């Protein structure tokens, strides 16, 4: 049994974490919120279709990583309030995952073959941060979402002008990532040291580069 103020978990929570991983990686993603106002699909030339598919594959992998990060953080969260906040954020990220997956299907493209590796790495980071403290865990969430915001801004700038369907998905995701970061900061999540932020950016570059193609 965990002592007060220390992270702890039960067999049920471990089984739940394993179930969440299998669902995120291998089950069709489902959204509790449909983007019913998405613009109609428009034809894209072959080059634009490949590029949009690459961008959406990167974002899909990012959402796989977000699921892993937040589930890992929630597993070892010290306070019930922090755990609830992380799981609510994970649920919204689950919607993002479903939207990216849907768009990949529409483009005739597949998710990254490396998603199990992204999930494992993000889960390890999430549990390590949460094992240190809820405050550090919230700091990681804050920085992660800030960096995702930057990626989404870049992707929005790269989308073909005609692809309003992808644009609506990414813009909605961006707004919610900003809200998650602001909420983590409001809960006491600190700005991480420059070295850690730099390492996070470097690992993110590896993921985004590989996921675009593989």
Reference 211, options 153, 167, 151; nearest CA is 151
Q: Is residue 152 part of a domain?
A: yes
Q: Is residue 21 part of a domain?
A: no
High-pLDDT (> 90) share of the chain, %: 64
> How far is C-alpha 16 from the chain's CA centre?
19
Reference 115, options 176, 73, 61, 172; nearest CA is 61
Q: Is residue 138 part of a domain?
A: yes
Q: Is residue 20 part of a domain?
A: no
DSSP conformation class of 195: H
Q: Is residue 99 part of a domain?
A: yes
Model pTM score: 0.89
b (16+ CB within 10 A) / e for 175-193: ebbeebbebbbebebeebe
Statement: residue 21 has pLDDT above 80: no
The pLDDT value given to residue 10: 65
Stretch 68-87: mean pLDDT: 90
Q: What is the CATH number of the domain that holds 53?
A: 1.20.1260.10
Number of compact structural domains in the chain: 1
Q: Is residue 15 part of a domain?
A: no
Q: Is residue 185 part of a domain?
A: yes
Stretch 176-202: mean pLDDT: 92
Statement: residue 1 has pLDDT above 50: no
Q: Is residue 86 part of a domain?
A: yes
Higher per-residue confidence, 50 vs 31: 50
> Can you give the residue range of the structural domain that contains 209?
46-213
65 neighbors 118 (Cβ within 8 angstroms): yes
Statement: residue 2 has pLDDT above 60: no
| Mean pLDDT computed over every residue of the chain | 88
Stretch 71-88: mean pLDDT: 90
Q: pLDDT-based confidence at 4, cuts 50/70/90?
A: very low
């Amino acid at each position: 049994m965990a002592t007060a103020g220390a992270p702890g978990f039960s067999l049920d929570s471990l089984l739940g974490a394993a179930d969440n991983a299998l669902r995120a990686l291998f089950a069709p993603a489902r959204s509790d919120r449909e983007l019913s106002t998405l613009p109609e699909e428009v034809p894209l030339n072959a080059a634009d279709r490949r590029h949009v598919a690459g961008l959406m594959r990167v974002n899909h992998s990012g959402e796989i990583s977000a699921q892993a990060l937040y589930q890992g953080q929630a597993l070892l969260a010290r306070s019930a309030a922090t755990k609830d906040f992380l799981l609510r954020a994970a649920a919204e990220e689950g919607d993002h995952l479903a939207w990216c997956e849907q768009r990949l299907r529409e483009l005739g493209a597949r998710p990254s073959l490396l998603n199990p590796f992204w999930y494992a790495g993000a889960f390890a980071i999430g549990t390590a941060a949460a094992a240190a403290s809820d405050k550090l865990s919230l700091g990681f969430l804050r920085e992660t979402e800030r960096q995702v915001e930057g990626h989404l801004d870049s992707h929005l700038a790269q989308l073909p002008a005609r692809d309003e369907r992808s644009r609506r998905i990414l813009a909605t995701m961006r707004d919610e990532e900003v809200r998650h970061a602001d909420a983590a900061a409001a809960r006491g999540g600190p700005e991480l040291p420059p070295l850690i932020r730099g390492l996070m950016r470097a690992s993110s570059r590896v993921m985004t580069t590989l996921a675009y193609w593989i």
